[in-house]
Chain A
Amino acid sequence: MAKVLVVTSGKGGVGKTTTTAALGAALAQGGQSVCVVDFDVGLRNLDLVMGAERRVVYDLINVVNGDAKLPQALIKDKRLETLHLLPASQTRDKDALTDAGVARVMDELRDKFDWVICDSPAGIERGAQLAMHHADVAVVVTNPEVSSVRDSDRIIGLLDSKTAKAEKGEDMEKHLILTRYDPMRADRGDMLKTEDVLDILSIPLLAIIPESQEVLRASNLGCPVTLNNPLCAPARAYADAARRLKGETVPMSLPVERKSFLDKLFMRRAA
């Protein structure tokens, strides 16, 4: 029986899709069976970040409508045996997703996997609410930046009122992932500090992902950052986050790039 996790934020461009791919791959690297589900109907991108865009045949809406069975629509990752993708439709409207249809697909996914990770669209409209509705756990992705923190606060409100868990009067487990964090700027006082963000949002911290060129490089190549370069700082931060989600206690630290002399020497060539 899977744990259903939604990756959400309110604001766009803060790293939901990157986080979904990285957490999905990190959990699969740890031996768990994982399905990442793209809920961004009309603007799918998880397939691109996962490097599966050329192999998409069916999508979530095809499964909801009964045009394809779930196993036919799942795309198996070529690098990780236990990682699967259910893409969003690129051509249809999100209104093609019925509440009952999504509920049925989520039930089926729950039976098949250890983890189901739903990549939410930006915004607070129906698409975002559908993505979070069946979640057991929410990961709120936030940048240390005023508009992102404000939007995250809105999303936390929705998680506590509009989800199946909330409707049953249960507590939604929520975690914060702070992305694009630049310790130098935070030290200079030019960026919201981690404590400030945690203070304002008052949900527990799951990980701090440092600003890094490795994130862009991984998405260029279509490979989750935890898989593309497992030793880089953002990958280690995501790997720790995955272990915390599994219930392990991992001390929180801000991973920094380890640079050897050779790394520095070859840095320009590798970029």
Chain B
Amino acid sequence: MSILGLFQKRSSGAVARDRLQLILAHERAESGRPDLVIQLREEILAVIANHVAVEPDKVKVTLERGEGVSTLGLDIELPLGASAKLDAKLAAKLAEVAANKGSAKPASSKKAA
């Protein structure tokens, strides 16, 4: 790179190449498991629901694909004084998750029981 290059803004073509390389690497890695995020969310919620009544609508899921890693963020609103009572819809969903898993994880099998 020339001295001038240090002061030059990166060309848009180079930005395009970097963006494509990053997103394609993620898409290739994700291609086998398109529903991974949904499954992770359901199972994490199941664990939390053991202790707190969580409103499924009050869960914000973010994903940031970066160099070599993805960051999954879950923003879950925990109501004050919430009991461990489960909302019926969520319970049904959890049972479904547990059934799909067969030899279920401890959290979901407890729910299904």
Contact = CB atoms under 8 A, between A and B. Distances in A.
Interface stretch (B44-52, B61-69, B76-84, B98-106): B61-69
B14 to A, nearest CB: 9
Interface string A241-271: 0000000000000000000000000000111
Contact of A54 (B13, B22, B31): B22
A54 B65 contact: yes
Contacts of A216: 12
B63 A56 contact: yes
Interface residues of A, number: 25
A113 to B, nearest CB: 19
A85 B23 CA distance: 17
A120 B50 CA distance: 44
A251 to B, nearest CB: 32
A53 interface: yes
Given A67-B38, A217-B12, A57 B61 contact: yes
- Interface size grouping (class) on chain B: 20 to 34
Contact of B62 (A48, A55, A90): A55
B60 to A, nearest CB: 7
Contacts of B64: 54-55
Contacts of B2: none
B19 A222 contact: yes
Contacts of B15: 220-222
B92 interface: no
Contacts of B34: 91-92
Interface of A: 48, 51, 53-58, 62, 67-69, 72, 90-92, 216-217, 219-222, 269-271
